[in-house]
Structure 1
Amino acid sequence: MASAAPRPVGDKLVTVFGGSGFIGRHVVRALARAGWRVRVAVRRPDLAGHLQPLGVVGQVVATQANLRYPESVAQAAKGADAVVNLVGILAESGKQSFETLQAEGPRVAARAAREAGASLFVQMSAIGADRASKAVYGKTKAAGEEAALGVFPDAVILRPSIVFGPEDDFFNRFAALARFAPALPLIGGGKTRFQPVFVGDVAQAVAGALDGKVRGGAGAYELGGPDILTFEEILRYVLKETGRDRALAPLPFGLAKAQAKLLQLLPNAPLTVDQVTMLETDNVVSNEARADGRTLAAFGIEPTPIEAVVPSYLWRYRKAGQFEKTRAEA
């Protein structure tokens, strides 16, 4: 997890679409440390002030852009030497649809990069991107990859597994649920396999792609951590780290989808049918990617285990917070 000293700020400019989100803020930090001038293109620049301290004064600047409006995207990419597209959603909301943002959005971003004369383009996808996927999320991620490559053939495609880090929506979600729920749902029996990858490693992969460590257009790079864990193993780990004694209740996929159908009607839906569908397929680095060397190793990155990071932010879900261990030993 140790990182090299920051490089001096150079002349090269990178535009990062979707740079204010969970993965985005870590990518912006990694690029700033690599010496890039970073233009963060987001829908609400007024809410992206937290990114400015990630670089030196004037190195990180937010600008307005929305993938639904190609003119704004072209303006945000103007003059950029490289473009990174991180925009993605786990659930649809209003005009923010899978088709618009994940299938068509990468084409808009790649076209803007090409027209701006950028020499590098990185598209953030996900393990599970597959035209044959039963989940709309997976289908549109695959469509987005194809769209980006159709415009920018040497684009670097990155497919992470479940991403963990202090602001994640995976470990934090179940740790929060364990605070009040008498049991945690073991969707599909908890047999789905994941390969959680540290957000810092994903960010370093983006920086490495812009540093020429890998070749674009050579197949997607699949990013996974050092361990493969089942859904059940992850939930048990969360309970252990938060000191919660909760039952794990098996929930068949069919019943989970029926419940999700109702839950997705709520604002900020905690679960959708499409998310349950995604759980029907393992989320791990493929044998093909490992055989071809299209993993974190290609970037010279040794994957970080969850034990090195997750306990540092799950402590806040313990009954006595950061003092839980001290109290137990007293």
Structure 2
Amino acid sequence: MTIRRLSRVIKIDRYNAWVEIDGEEKYAHVRKRVLRDTGIYPGDYAWVSEVIRGREYAVEKIVPRKNILKRPTVANVSKAIYVHTFKQPEGYLFYLDLFLMNVIHEHIKPYIVVNKVDLLSDEELQYAKEVMKTYENLGYPVIWTSVEKKEGIEELKALLDKGTIVFAGMSGVGKSSLINTMYGLNLSVGAVSEKIGRGRHTTTYTKLIRVGEKTYVVDTPGFSLLEVPDDIEVKEVSSGFPEIAEREHLCAYPGCLHVDEPGCAVREAVEKGEIALHRYESYLKILEAVKEKEEERKWRRRKKRR
């Protein structure tokens, strides 16, 4: 009789996976039907069989996912940490806004970490706090950290006591350094390139790391590009921007997309300074990207019918 065990997928290696069985990582082959029907991602819960007792394993089936975060791709996430820096490297607020929309879409609790605060002058720190006030006013927790000075580390660790916790952000913002400092690990870290002002990739794959009985942290490769979710529709984009969603009922026309429609309460709020301009610009960029994806899906459906 084949023994099947419920296991956690730790890391993917092409058509194979590392899974956690009885607290140990085991290498397992992924059945073709799994790759075809559901795919497999770090963070998945999977039924794994012992092909050769104690020596060879196979992933037979994936348990339905609670959620799935794309780029970085992780399943069954409890909390998502976006690590942002204002210096070395200078982060893009658009990436932060897109990440927040992604995690809200998947019903994941987001946190914002502003790292490397020790590098900021008093004037730069004041500017950073003004920018982040926008996010705090929207209800997003913002934690200020410095690995060098050990600032904010315990505060952050206290917030992340249980669950599967993803750290994401641009290359060089210090994700691995934060995880190392919080949990006494030795993940590879890298410096920021002076030539391009961005970090070099030191984490090259997504992996779950157990740091407690019920806690995993996920160190992910830094990115220079984020994508909108494949399954989001144009009318859903505003749900990732609470300050826009809460004003939609005030617009003159139902279905207003807040681009150039007359009587738009959202654009009026932007002009009055009630909605941050950079947030509205992020919304427009994401909206355009979603429109393009919708058109691409329509084109593919038409092509199939021919």
* TM-score where L is the length of structure 2: 0.26
Greater radius of gyration (CA): 2
Name the one with the larger strand percent. 2
* TM-score where L is the length of structure 1: 0.24
